[in-house]
Amino acid sequence: MTADPQPRFVLHNHAARHHHYDFRLERDGVLKSWAVPKGLPEKTGERRLAIAVEDHPLEYIIFQGTIPEGQYGAGEVSIADEGWYEPLIWNEERIEIVLHGTIFSGKYVLLRFKKAGEKEWIILKGKAGGG
């Protein structure tokens, strides 16, 4: 079995009714997606809420533009960052990846936040050097 090319990621800046960012990771032929109200953390140990949303088609990885009024997610969408990632751990409770983006790079960890709800996760920036 040959390895797939490096999986891609995109961080969309989504100026919808409630401004947020959409963090999308290419996996299993779709974009696994989270709405991140305050964007990705920039400092080691910084934590942010990430809310799982429905998977999106791979074509969304390059999407920029206006989602018309009356449609789900109406508003302006632009690419805040993009690149590829290395998956380290991926299971139902924990996702560890190393991002290789233009702005965001390094280790990031998504952890299930069950106390907050079924779709809630916490995303944090890991220590430099992958630790």
Query: Using CA of residue 43, residue 73, residue 15, residue 8, what is the dihedral sign?
Result: positive
Whether the per-residue pLDDT at 118 is higher than 80: the answer is yes
Give the pLDDT mean for 27-55. 96
Band the pLDDT of 1: cuts 50, 70, 90.
Answer: very low
Strands 65-67 and 8-15: unpaired
User: What pLDDT, on the 0 to 100 scale, is given for residue 116?
Assistant: 79
Band the pLDDT of 129: cuts 50, 70, 90.
Answer: low
User: What pLDDT, on the 0 to 100 scale, is given for residue 57?
Assistant: 96
Residue 66 dihedral angles phi and psi, to the nearest 5°: -110, 130
For the segment 60-76, what is each residue's pLDDT rounded down to a tens digit? 999 999 999 998 889 99
Whether the per-residue pLDDT at 130 is higher than 60: the answer is no
User: What pLDDT, on the 0 to 100 scale, is given for residue 127?
Assistant: 83
**What's the rounded Cα separation, in Å, for the pair 34 and 95?**
12
Give the pLDDT mean for 86-108. 97
